[in-house]
C-alpha cells in the first residue's frame, strides 16, 4: 500500500520543549482522531558533526534543539482530507495557543513514500 508523509523540521529553544510537548500531544490526538495512520514527534539528541545534519540545516543556536515530526497517511488524497479537518479544528482554537517556536524557521514537506520496511 502506497503511503504519504508530511514531515516537519522545527528549530526550538530547549526551554520551550515542555510547551511544545503539550501542543504536540494535542496535535497527535487531533490528527489521529481525523484519520492519520501514525503521528511522531521526535526531539534532536544526536547531532552528527559532518554534512548537512539538522543542526547545520536549522542553524541551531547553543540553547536550541530541533523537533523532527512526521504524520503518515494512506495517500496524498487522504492527507488532504485529514488535514482539512485538522486545520479547521486548529483554526478554531488557535487564539488559545502561543507558538513555542519561530514559524519563520519551521519547515514542512509532503513526501511520497519511496521505500518502506
CA 26 to chain centre: 12
CATH at 95: 3.30.70.100
3-state DSSP: the chain helix, strand, coil percent, rounded to 5? 40, 25, 30
- Round to the nearest angstrom and report the end-to-end CA distance of the chain: 12
pLDDT recorded at residue 52:
64
pLDDT recorded at residue 31:
97
Task: Count CB-CB contacts under 10 A for residue 2.
Answer: 9
**In a domain? residue 117:** no
Structural domain that includes position 79? 4-112
Question: What pTM was computed for the model?
Answer: 0.89
pLDDT at 115 over 70: yes
**Placement of cell 511544545 in the chain:** 20
**In a domain? residue 35:** yes
- Contact by Cβ (8 Å): 44, 68: yes
Residue whose C-alpha is closest to residue 99's, from 22, 31, 6 = 22
pLDDT recorded at residue 68:
94
Q: What is the tens place of the pLDDT at every residue in 7-56?
A: 999 999 999 999 999 999 999 999 999 999 999 999 988 776 666 678 78
pLDDT recorded at residue 51:
61
**In a domain? residue 68:** yes
Q: What is the tens place of the pLDDT at every residue in 56-105?
A: 888 889 899 999 999 999 999 999 999 999 999 988 877 777 889 988 88
The total domain count for the chain is 1
Amino acid at each position: 500500500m502506497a503511503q504519504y508523509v508530511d514531515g516537519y523540521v522545527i528549530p526550538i529553544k530547549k526551554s520551550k520543549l515542555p510547551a511544545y510537548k503539550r501542543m504536540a500531544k494535542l496535535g497527535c490526538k487531533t490528527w489521529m482522531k481525523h484519520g492519520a495512520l501514525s503521528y511522531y514527534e521526535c526531539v534532536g539528541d544526536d547531532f552528527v558533526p559532518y554534512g548537512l545534519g539538522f543542526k547545520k540545516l536549522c542553524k541551531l543556536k547553543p540553547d536550541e534543539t530541533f523537533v523532527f515530526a512526521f504524520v503518515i497517511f494512506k495517500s496524498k488524497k487522504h492527507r488532504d482530507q485529514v488535514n482539512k479537518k485538522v486545520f479547521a479544528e486548529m483554526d478554531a482554537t488557535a487564539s488559545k495557543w502561543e507558538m513555542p517556536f519561530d514559524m519563520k524557521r519551521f519547515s514542512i514537506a509532503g513526501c511520497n513514500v519511496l521505500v518502506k520496511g
